[in-house]
Amino acid sequence: MGGVEKVKRQRDQGRLTVRERIDKMVDANSFHEIGAVSGIGEYDEQGELKQLTPANCVFGRAKVDGRTVVVVGDDFTVRGGSADASISAKPLMAEEMAHDFRLPIIRIIEGSGGGGSVKTIETKGAANLPGGIGGNRSYRYTIENLAHVPVVGLGLGSVAGLGAARLAASHYSIMTRSSAMFVAGPPVVKRLGQDLTKQELGGADIQTRAGGVDDAVDTEEEAFAKARRFLSYLPSSVFELPPTLPCNDDPERSEESLIKAVPRSRRQVYKMRPIIEAVVDKGSFFEVNANYGRPIIAGLARLEGRAVLLLASDPFHYGGSWTAEACQKVVRWVDFAEIFHLPIVYLMDCPGFMIGLDAEKSATIRYGVRAMAAVNQTTVPWCTVIVRNSFGVAGVVHQPADRFSIRYAWPSAYWGSLPLEGGIEAAYRAEIDAASDPAAKMKEIEDRLNKLRSPFRSAEKFWVEEIIDPRKTRSLLCEFARLAEPLRTPGLAKNMTIRP
């Protein structure tokens, strides 16, 4: 690698070397390295090797839980992972192998991830034109793999420039809390008058809340474990189906807690995650993007051993209203489910799009329409459980249009063009103003409309198909997963835009 001193420095800073990382990421003794002796050599006048600077990219094939993957890692001990010591063919070949052999790829990223530095001008004797000859080919595979194979990125140190792009261009990205990610680091940003530390500029809290990185963990070992678990829900490529695992959890299990999970008072919030845990296979829910777009919970789960994408509302954040970020989160993970043939389960409690000046400034409606388009473009089976609210245009986006999907409602469900609160004042203003007791009149109207808005009235008119006992939810969702299984079709998803 970079020599004894550089390796010692890496370890003294609490970070593993690239080879140690690969060994801990993959199954024991399964790594088959490619290009192990590649590097930049210096020769004497007789053509004898004087010195070799090893390539700062290590890659090869390995197994994760018995399944073949491609793993590629940056060696920070050699020029900080920059282009000065890179062999450009190595990371490109890793991406090509994953693409052409239809294998998941795991990128272990530190430094600039093979990108340049100012010193590169001197070492190469010329300035590199970004995307010049051969460069765009690498970018092509980095992005195109998102439509073909599972891509996992691990940020394990200071990740900048091209490294940050490679980390973001993944289906699931993880960073350690001691790491940082940025387009340009503190010395460059300081020229803008922003004197920031690495953590202040691109630490885990900033990146997970902004959605730049999906998850943050305390240790590298935790990052490897999460990467392995994420891959366990997915096929090796889009030309296969997600694996079904043996299940010891009774599909007919009924959780008594669900009957009281939603408070009778609509002003009172409740926790959605215990509901999720109660209806999926025990311990199978794997949440992603938890700090971003928080009105929406997204993750992978299993129902009787079958993998699904699970979306759920979180009433603790804006009552579950869809913000611009929540809409972008829906787009990303719905696209992901379509690419990898995952049926979608949506536990819904959405009172509509977020309203107010901040919502308008963030173009919530534009992102909301994009979310609607993404949902409507899906072809995978879809099942929605309306837990409480479904209102407005955001309420429309609870299932794909113009095709059959399974839909259930709990007795706590409550829906309409807009909630009664506020809507009554707008629709009945003249009647309320003319009353001798406006408050009493408003209460009278609200009571009358509440009787009419009962989900059972909707069921009478077949505007909702089934109102279920909440305790029956797991059984029905497991049945949905069984019904969906033969409908999943391997192959490239249609009408999909490739988005990290």
| DSSP per-residue codes, 289-329 | STTSSTTEEEEEEEETTEEEEEEEE-TTTGGG-B-HHHHHH
Q: What is the mean pLDDT of residues 348-377?
A: 94
- Is pLDDT larger for residue 354 or for residue 464? 354
Q: Quick check: helix, strand or coil at residue 176? A: strand
* pLDDT tens digits, one per residue of 404-455: 999 999 999 988 776 666 667 777 888 888 888 988 888 888 788 777 777 7
Q: How does strand 32-34 pair with strand 57-64?
A: antiparallel
The reported pLDDT for the residue numbered 80 is: 63
Q: Quick check: helix, strand or coil at residue 117? A: coil
The answer to whether 394 touches 319, Cβ cutoff 8 Å, is no
Residue 315 pLDDT class (50, 70, 90 cuts): very high
* pLDDT tens digits, one per residue of 132-183: 555 567 778 888 999 999 999 999 999 998 899 999 999 999 999 999 999 9
* pLDDT tens digits, one per residue of 81-132: 565 556 778 889 999 999 999 999 999 999 765 555 666 666 667 666 666 5
The chain-wide mean pLDDT, for the chain, equals 89
The answer to whether 226 touches 176, Cβ cutoff 8 Å, is no
- The reported pTM is 0.89
The reported pLDDT for the residue numbered 88 is: 77
Q: What is the CATH number of domain 256-413+464-487?
A: 3.90.226.10
For residue 287, pLDDT beyond 60: yes
Domain boundaries, the chain: 4-232, 256-413+464-487
For residue 497, pLDDT beyond 80: no
| Domain 4-232 identical in fold to domain 256-413+464-487 | yes
The reported pLDDT for the residue numbered 495 is: 56
* pLDDT tens digits, one per residue of 234-282: 999 999 999 999 999 999 999 999 999 999 988 899 999 999 999 999 9
The answer to whether 102 touches 149, Cβ cutoff 8 Å, is yes
The reported pLDDT for the residue numbered 494 is: 62
Q: What is the mean pLDDT of residues 348-358?
A: 93
What percentage of residues in the chain have a pLDDT greater than 90? 65
Element (H, E) at 210: helix 204-210
Element (H, E) at 221: helix 220-232
* pLDDT tens digits, one per residue of 122-134: 666 766 666 655 5
Domain 4-232 has CATH 1.20.120.80: no
The answer to whether 299 touches 310, Cβ cutoff 8 Å, is yes
- Is pLDDT larger for residue 221 or for residue 453? 221
